[in-house]
Structure 1
């Protein structure tokens, strides 16, 4: 891979119709599914510790204001309810929004005024203060002072690797783990994930207070096999479109052979194994859920053959484009993008008409050992 991941891994910026802000319906659905688990976890740490200033970090916040700040609002609302029941006075909140330096923080920052106004309306006049900071940097390393954070949240971020795995030159014609990938390629992907996740846990173990809590949701899989349609199909379909463009001369073959997605979708067992290996956190709960590709606010759980659902594949491709386009542009250039996603649209449509495709989500709740 010719690019350095931390310089190009970001969701598509801005607020137009192909931006991450406008297209990330799957991510919003996942946040909704994990809402009660997050609220339970943060209320427990608050009720036990009752800190003067409660420090919350959202790691891999991206630029989607309804997602990131929506989660923060829900967490604070839960704490405010607990605070009133206990009879405590005003509560201060320190909120940290983290992502890689090239993330579109400006889109979030521009919405902070309305966020604060809505928060005061939501929780009432007795609300204290909420201070929000942006923290650019990789979460595969230290980001915060020692024993500083009470609650850490991350959703759909930890499957992204710090780099493309080394030694995967034989993964020709593929852009991720695929049915035709050599076994050493599959192992290289897992090894890189284990290395990164260990570094993540070690870093947070120094930053989270004793008995502090983390709730992490990772795009994963149920299957024991590291190649599984439930975790790889979206990239395999994109690889089909890219291979077709190579065959027709739109893309150089050598360009495709050196492009691989820096992502790994772990199983719950793999996550638990790495956590035990690192040893700083207790595993409180594991929750596995699934989201259909066609699920969104307007057509949730509709049959894909129903005329009212005819735009589902458009929604899905726009969502995928907002995630993949920065990586693709950095490697192939901008000129292929429209043609690529036109082809991807047709391939995805055929796939969604044949079967129900899903994403698997692994959510874990962890407590820092005291």
Structure 2
């Protein structure tokens, strides 16, 4: 089965759905408001886009749930604040074909109703299924591109891994050097291609704001950045020992994701050449943004396990040949995460960038 069929989040609006387990992403999105607002203001101050009348944008990797409309609502309000020239906004929501577009477009209807009291700009929303590593739009057609927590997903599992990574499902301390190299090279090719294609689709002077999971350290095998995947691999290995998961399935499973450091991102942008890096911001995102000063390890671990499950369960379900009780998997996973946690609130690392089409 191709990755385009399994790279999607848990659908619907149930207990394990992405729609109900994406608070981490919501928190990270809100932290990008300053760079998003600054980018839009600068674009509208320096470019003559009003002559087009219709502002055209795309959200790549939009997923499903309220976060998608949160981004769009903020963007529309910002455009109204900074520009009176655009009469219409055309928005394309992009993700792979098996994304839960049905649930997303139910939310779109309520979004229209909330915005209907504002006469301009009028907003027209469309679905655009497909891989953002392929051409999706005509040349010189897009004014603005946005993406949050999607670009770190690769176009596929890096070639040559097969069973070389054995009990790991991502880069870990015990991963051979060729595994690290394969992942880094795949990200370099994919991000280069993403920028190259966007360079064709966007008009000169157009802007792009991207946020993605990143790492603080140059060492790609750092447990600090990869704890979620390392501990999930340990959980699955225990279930192999217990006879609940096939060993060959674990040995052949690798997550098609790469968590880069800022230097890697900057280098690829410079090498590709279609865009100028206007700004880069880096910031932490708590594993559980809902917790206050009274940090509870078990609660944080359960929250983190549910967040990971909402994203990765479809991949596990499609890969592992034996029928697996994923309630058990992620209950064990939460217990292991709790053991890993210190008394301090743990956090992810996010890279946000603002790019200008040359």
- TM-score (ref. length: structure 1): 0.92
Instruction: Give the 3-state SS of the residue equivalent to 2:116 in structure 1.
Output: helix
What is the SS of the residue equivalent to 1:335?
coil
| 1:328-365 CA-partner distances (Å, limit 9, x unpaired) | 10011552312211110110111224554221000110
For structure 1, which segment, 170-179 or 345-354, has the greater mean C-alpha deviation from structure 2 after superposition? Answer: 345-354
Alpha carbons 2:16, 2:310 under 8 Å: kept: yes
- 1:238 is matched with 232
Number of the residue aligned with 2:90: 94
Residues 95 and 130 of structure 2 are in contact (CA less than 8 Å); yes or no, is this contact kept in structure 1? Answer: yes
Q: Alpha-carbon deviation of 1:310?
A: 5.3
Gaps of 5+ in 1: none
Number of equivalences: 353
Secondary structure of 2:20's aligned partner: helix
1:166-185 aligned at under 5 Å gives the runs 166-168=159-161, 169-185=163-179
What SS class does the counterpart of residue 290 from structure 1 fall into? strand
- Quote the Cα distance in structure 1 between the aligned partners of 2:225 and 2:128: 30
The aligned counterpart of 1:264 is: 258
Rate the CA distance shift 1:334–1:13 in 2: closer, same or farther, 3 A. Answer: farther
Give the corresponding residue for 2:127: 134
What is the distance in 1 between the residues matched to 2:226 and 2:337? Answer: 13
Whole-angstrom CA distance in 1 between matches of 2:229 and 2:343: 17
Give the 5 Å matches for 1:191-270: 191-270=185-264
Q: CA RMSD in A?
A: 1.5
Q: Is the aligned partner of 1:357 residue 2:346?
A: yes
| TM-score, scaled relative to structure 2 | 0.95
- The separation in 2 between residues aligned to 1:288 and 1:83, in whole angstroms, is 28
Report if the CA contact (8 A) 1:96-1:135 is conserved.
yes
C-alpha distance 310-246 of structure 1, shift in aligned 2 (>3 A): closer
1:36 is aligned to: 34
* Residues 1:52 and 2:53 aligned together: yes
Find runs of 4+ consecutive structure 1 residues off by over 3 angstroms. Answer: 353-356
**Contact 1:290–1:359 (Cα < 8 Å) also in 2:** yes
Please give the alpha-carbon distance, in whole angstroms, between the structure 2 residues aligned to 1:270 and 1:342: 35
Distance 2:114 2:310 in 1: 27
Match of 1:21, SS state, is coil
Structure 2, unpaired ranges of 5+: none
| Deviation per residue, 1:236-273 (Å, 9 max, x gap) | 01001001001111111111100010000011110010
